[in-house]
Chains A and B, each alone.
Chain A
Amino acid sequence: MIDLPEKKSRFRMTRRRLILGGSLIGGALVVGYIATNPMQVAGAILQGGGDDPRPSAFGPFIRITDDGWITVVNKQQELGQGIHAGLAAIVAEELDADWDRVRVVDSRSNFRAYGPQMTGASNGIASNWDLMRNAGAAARAMFVAAAALRWGVPSGSIDIRNGIVSHLDSRRTATFPELLADASRQPPPDSPMLKQPADYRLIGTDKVRRKDSLSKSTGAQVYTQDIQRPDMLVAMVAHSPRFGGTLARFDASDARKVKGVVDVFATETGVAVVAETTFAAWKGRDALRIEWDDSEAETRSTHELVRYYHDIAAGRSDVEPAEFDSKGDDSEVPFDDDVADFAFDFPYLAHAPMETLDCVAQVNGWDVSITSGAHLATVDQVYAAFAARTIPGKVDIEVVPAGGSFGRRGVLSSDYLVECVRIAKRTDGRPVKLMWSREDEIASGYFRPMSHHRVWVQLGRDGFPTRWRIHSVCQSLLPVGPNSLATEGITHSPYFSTASTVDGKIFTPTFPVVVGLWRSVGHSYTALVMEHIIDQLARRAGLDPAAYRRVFYEKVEDKRRLAVLDELCLKAGWGTPLETGWARGLAIHEAFGTIVGQVAEVRLVDGRPLVRRVVAVVDCGIAIAHDQIAAQMEGSIGFGLSAALYGAITLKDGIVQETNFDRYLVLRMNEMPVVETHIIASTSRPTGMGEPGVAPIAPAVANAILALTGQPTSRLPFLDGNARSNTDVSAQFNG
């Protein structure tokens, strides 16, 4: 009995060693392979069992056909920002294609073929810049090689312009279709020669225009809402009116009596009504009787949450802060009496894209086929697979343009898409279109979070900050990791450069109201915090706000910000007089690598800010599509001004009070200011343009109001209660 265990243990040791050694080597191999081939591994995991797109000799993003058309595959989500044209222009530039013969198709979801498909953080151009340049340049090299071979001339002597391949000395030319067969057989080069910005013929010219304007002006463009499939059903879901509420009981007897209603059942997110038509589903849903279990639900009202946030910032709660920025340590040193202190409150905001959330899904055994304006196709594919209990490779997402999103379709839980797949799992293979009403969309959460900020700034004798303390309260914008997005735009601010100590803390409360990403994310309020404080500090110091900013930018040697500031002052006529009653406000903010400066011309009528003109200057690196940059600037200002004037989601006993555009007000035609956009010439890598223009408009208006009245802004929106209604602006402009 004593020997045996020894023997056994020796034997076990050997086996353990064997397993250990083997798994170590195996593990190292696996880790090594994954580390060196992460995309292939991810592709195999995510697309395993699925189909790949039709192969093209010119790679996954370019198809050239013998009718002379060049088709660029857009792997990003087109939600209005014009990404399809930007990516196509990069390809066409490197390929020297004829822009008028370039068209764009949206890709389906496929990580193996296209890599990650995630549209967000204004990264569409920035993250695909190298990919698209290389794809275009490689295809070009293949045509050059084919022509060189055919004509027996060195490849260096061959030129391509506007889709015509030519050899100058022998005056020979050929079109892409003429060389297509030969070029397709050429090996794609490993690292093709890329153009220098000085050699661009298309990028940065007015030729780069949208490709979808006609179809979007004639009603021909198909969105998810427009999808019709044979035998298709339409579903609507009754959701809990409170965040965190769950379904207790429901009575479907009346709903089932509605003509056209096919099925009614409980699903994870509420009660689904499935019908032959949208209106039948609508009436069926209206006829439901539901009782919700609110034991875990959020039942507070907005004013209670605001008070809670103030308590948190004052340390009167159990929410522990985390540091987001720090320099030196002054926690023990009290502030002087003349400390400048500020408090800001920002509301929840809904996205309210013109197309509400919708999705078409069909589940056939293992196969799931989805049509949707999917924002994060890669994430959506994974979540849809789990919802349908299949593998991601079996989920095929046909990505169609979205009727706006502003971040609502880009949520890291794919909420509406998962809801649709779950319903489609119960319709015996019939395709289902999930429709959300406007009321559903506005109350559905994934809001721009509400936040509170307490700021103390100690000023030196020269009027510049020596100490900053910023304590912010905001729910986490991401499901995991530090809450860094909440303070983006404050963290590492150039305005900290004159201070010897910085104490930046973020408090992250958790409760059931769902927050998410809203166009410009944290910048949507941090720009106001920083830029409005700076104007107030400049007033204290008796300095011009532009001159005051220049000191910080020079101190950190930020040439880009300085260039934006100078151009902005020049183009906006900063310092020149305006008519009585009008004032200018200036703000400059960097978001997603892009620097935007805006000057707003503002007047107050009955306490309402009226904005007639905004001059904007942007440095977004190499400007690919000038007209689209201007379009994004106009749209961003309209979107940001909408929120600044009216935007607020308010809760009463936990229930969202805004239901439709009559209470969740957005800017209308008569309130839109004139926008002038100026682009700083640059040869740096392009940066994003979809969101950065949103951030500076609120502080620009607040700074103009400060100039007009001396009154600082400490909360948004500017208008509340009964003042929250669209107004007749144009009649006031000349009055």
Chain B
Amino acid sequence: MSYAISVNGQVHHVEDDGQTPLLWVLRDTLKLSGTKYGCGAAQCGACTVHVDGKPMRSCTLSLERASSARITTIEAVEGADVRAIQDAWVAHDVPQCGFCQSGQVMSAIALLRTVEKPTDRDIDLAMSGNLCRCATYNRIRAAIHDAASKLGTPT
């Protein structure tokens, strides 16, 4: 079946099984490889994308369901908060192997869009669905606090 799917502001016509996980449509069909496969079971968060602005795991979202929403991936997510987060990620040298970081960044952006000044508890609640085997968690936490305070400071 053919589905019209809106990804990063562009409508693509995808000919595929409606039960195909969005993750594989993004990676294999649309060649957007920033969104990663880590577990395929909504356990690790490496495949997090924004669906109508909300963070969702693309490994457990069908093409059929995704076709009725606006999808944003790490490649095209933008805004002052995105820049603040990515700057903080670099300033803290957060990544090690880096494989989970697309998902971490997407979750962190969604967090700051929900809670302007997250507490440690807010960060725990929002980010515990994103695994990092290199255990860069402390730096992720520091970078989120850093980005939040930079965004809160009028320039």
Task: Mark A residues whose CB is within 8 Å of B.
Answer: 79-82, 209-210, 212-223, 225-226, 228, 234, 259, 277-279, 352-356, 401-406, 435, 437-438, 627-628, 631, 634-639, 642, 660-662, 666-670, 672, 674-675, 726, 728, 730-731
Contact = CB atoms under 8 A, between A and B. Distances in A.
Nearest to B76: A219
Contact of B28 (A234, A401, A406, A639): A234
- Secondary structure call for the A interface: loop
5 smallest beta-carbon distances between A and B, as pairs = A638-B135, A219-B34, A403-B99, A216-B98, A80-B97
Given A438-B39, A730-B121, A669 B137 contact: yes
Given A401-B97, A666-B131, 5 more contacts: A214-B86, A225-B37, A404-B97, A660-B41, A660-B43
Given A214-B90, A669-B128, A669-B130, A638 B137 contact: yes
A508 B134 CA distance: 31
Given A80-B134, A354-B132, A634-B139, A226 B33 contact: yes
A667 to B, nearest CB: 6
A164 to B, nearest CB: 26
Contacts, number: 184
A661 B45 CA distance: 11
B27 interface: yes
B133 A639 contact: yes
A692 to B, nearest CB: 15
Given A219-B102, A669-B128, A730-B120, A210 B38 contact: no
12 contacts: A80-B95, A217-B89, A217-B98, A225-B33, A277-B29, A278-B24, A354-B38, A403-B98, A404-B99, A631-B96, A669-B140, A674-B138
Contact of B43 (A81, A215, A404, A662): A662
A218 B34 contact: yes
B99 A355 contact: yes
A625 to B, nearest CB: 10
Nearest to A213: B90
Interface in B14-73: 17, 20-21, 24, 27-29, 31, 33-41, 43-44, 46, 73
A638 B105 CA distance: 20
- Secondary structure call for the B interface: loop
A386 B111 CA distance: 50
A487 to B, nearest CB: 27
B6 interface: no
A216 B127 CA distance: 18
Nearest to B119: A730
B36 A634 contact: no
Contacts of B138: 634, 672, 674-675
Contact of B105 (A79, A217, A438): A217
A51 B55 CA distance: 47
B94 interface: yes
B5 interface: no
Nearest to B86: A217
B112 interface: no
